Amino acid sequence: MRKNQSVIGNFDWPLFVAYILLLIMGIGTVYSVAFNSEHPNIFDFSQKYGKQIMWLGISLLLGLMVFLIDSDIYRKFAVPIYLFVLSLLIIVLFMPPVNGARAWLGLGSMGVQPAEFAKIGTAILLAKFLSTAKIKQQSRRTVLAANGIILLPMILILLQPDAGTFVVFTAFLFVLYREGISYDPLILPILNAMPIKGLHFKQTWIGTHFIPILFVVIVLSVTTLLFSGSIISLGFIGVEFDGYWGVFFFLFVICAAGYFFMRMIFSRRDRNRALTISVIAFVLSVTLTSVVNYGFQKLAGHQKERIELVLGLREDPNGDDYNRNRAMAAVGSGGLVGKGYRKAIVSSVRTNHVPESETDFIFCPFAEEWGFIGSLILVILYLFVILRIVMIAERQKAIFNRVYAYAFAMILFYHFAINIGMNIEFAPVIGIPLPFFSYGGSSMMSFSMMMFILLKLDSQRNDVLN
């Protein structure tokens, strides 16, 4: 009796309510986009909205099961679960390809995508591994094993091929960062092997912050490539300048802002360090972007073309640019308050100007129908969910729970940032669903299960110690 009370009492209602809100908005958008006047009933299972509701029902059922089962089983069966999803990823490679990828298990519309469920298995095993009491965080074995857990499913997913989910899996690397996994065990031997006398590192800044640095480098490089070739035109003040100077200016602003931010939070004694860090960061990032820019200009024509295509810089009416261009038109035409529910024009399935507008590009019809107000609410709701999960993660006593929560937060953040980002030119066009929103059973089920596992773990946070 007491235990039951504590379960209900520890249940995180705000997160659950936000989750339900997203689900309702998602179903509503699918109904709007895929509306078929011959089957107006939202529960018509021959239509996508009917099916989506069915998937939602199944997901909630799974969620209820998750809640009834003691959360201990994830710790106990972490390895079998992981192996199970891995075997699914292998089996799927022998399935007939759908749209050029062997991603579907099962037949017709009832198929599932094992890659979606692999996220759960990976998150659980990673949590299990990192929570194992006496892992030596600085050992080479730990680093390799932790990365291996992530890398194995990634390789199988790349074989399908499913580039989107592959990219999403890199989210787990940030979890390693949060848990303090340093890459020094891999970097130090190389550095120390260099025949420079008297040089011996015990710890490097790069190794400690390897993952964030790696991503800053990637983001800066992509940004450079995106902007350096173009002309930035500030219409309202009538100034035009070369794209690279825009990147330069952007870096300067970021570093200056970072300096003042650090001055604010650092103690008086450390203020000089803030300036040093900012200047070093600025010099390093400028060097990096210059090298990338220079290297890109020196590339052979076809290589350059390929990169441009991937980044959507080259106008290719049948390629990525077509989708993005129409997606941006749909989003941008929403205006402040939108065109009204079920009044999307560009992104409705009837006109079909935006392909995949009920799955990967579902943000388009939503933004077109609800305008900036709706888009802002959606962004805030997602941020709330993600930050709430971080908050939940930080209140866990058990490392297992914390790692799992961070993994979930990072996966959600990736999906959110890439999916919405590709509608607004902030991310390359990668086909991944918007969690709880996009039409599709697999993502609906896997995200819901992750959600319920987290809620369950959180509700039992006081019961476990490790």
Chain residues that interact with another protein, rule: CB under 8 A: 137, 174, 177-180, 212, 325-326, 328-336, 345-346, 350-353, 367, 371-372, 375-376, 379-380, 382-383, 386-387, 390, 393-394, 406, 409, 413, 417, 420-421, 424-426
Taking the complex as a whole, the smallest distance from the CB of residue 389 to another protein amounts, in Å, to: 10
CB of 119 or CB of 178, closer to another protein? 178
Taking the complex as a whole, the smallest distance from the CB of residue 336 to another protein amounts, in Å, to: 5
Taking the complex as a whole, the smallest distance from the CB of residue 300 to another protein amounts, in Å, to: 32
CB of 284 or CB of 417, closer to another protein? 417
CB of 149 or CB of 386, closer to another protein? 386
The CA dihedral of 253, 254, 258, 261, to the nearest 10 degrees, is 70
Taking the complex as a whole, the smallest distance from the CB of residue 380 to another protein amounts, in Å, to: 7
CB of 148 or CB of 332, closer to another protein? 332
Q: Are 357 and 366 in contact (CB under 8 A)?
A: no
CB of 304 or CB of 388, closer to another protein? 388
What does the alpha-carbon distance between residue 82 and residue 120 come to, in Å, rounded to a whole number?
A: 8
CB of 58 or CB of 345, closer to another protein? 345
Taking the complex as a whole, the smallest distance from the CB of residue 295 to another protein amounts, in Å, to: 27
CB of 161 or CB of 212, closer to another protein? 212
CB of 295 or CB of 332, closer to another protein? 332
CB of 188 or CB of 346, closer to another protein? 346
What does the alpha-carbon distance between residue 406 and residue 172 come to, in Å, rounded to a whole number?
A: 8
Contacts of 466 (CB under 8 A, 6+ apart): 131, 133, 398, 399, 400
CB of 296 or CB of 372, closer to another protein? 372
Taking the complex as a whole, the smallest distance from the CB of residue 391 to another protein amounts, in Å, to: 9
C-alpha 241 chain-centroid distance: 33
Taking the complex as a whole, the smallest distance from the CB of residue 304 to another protein amounts, in Å, to: 27
CB of 199 or CB of 237, closer to another protein? 237
CB of 178 or CB of 461, closer to another protein? 178
The tokens of 112 are what?
A: 């599932």
Taking the complex as a whole, the smallest distance from the CB of residue 251 to another protein amounts, in Å, to: 15
The tokens of 447 are what?
A: 């995200």
Residue in the block written with tokens 């507008």? 357
The CA dihedral of 186, 190, 191, 195, to the nearest 10 degrees, is 160
What does the alpha-carbon distance between residue 324 and residue 340 come to, in Å, rounded to a whole number?
A: 22
Taking the complex as a whole, the smallest distance from the CB of residue 355 to another protein amounts, in Å, to: 8
Taking the complex as a whole, the smallest distance from the CB of residue 213 to another protein amounts, in Å, to: 12
Taking the complex as a whole, the smallest distance from the CB of residue 359 to another protein amounts, in Å, to: 16
Taking the complex as a whole, the smallest distance from the CB of residue 428 to another protein amounts, in Å, to: 15
Pairing of strands 239-242, 231-234: antiparallel
Single out the residue of 416, 438, 452, 461 nearest to residue 120, CA to CA: 452
What does the alpha-carbon distance between residue 112 and residue 103 come to, in Å, rounded to a whole number?
A: 8
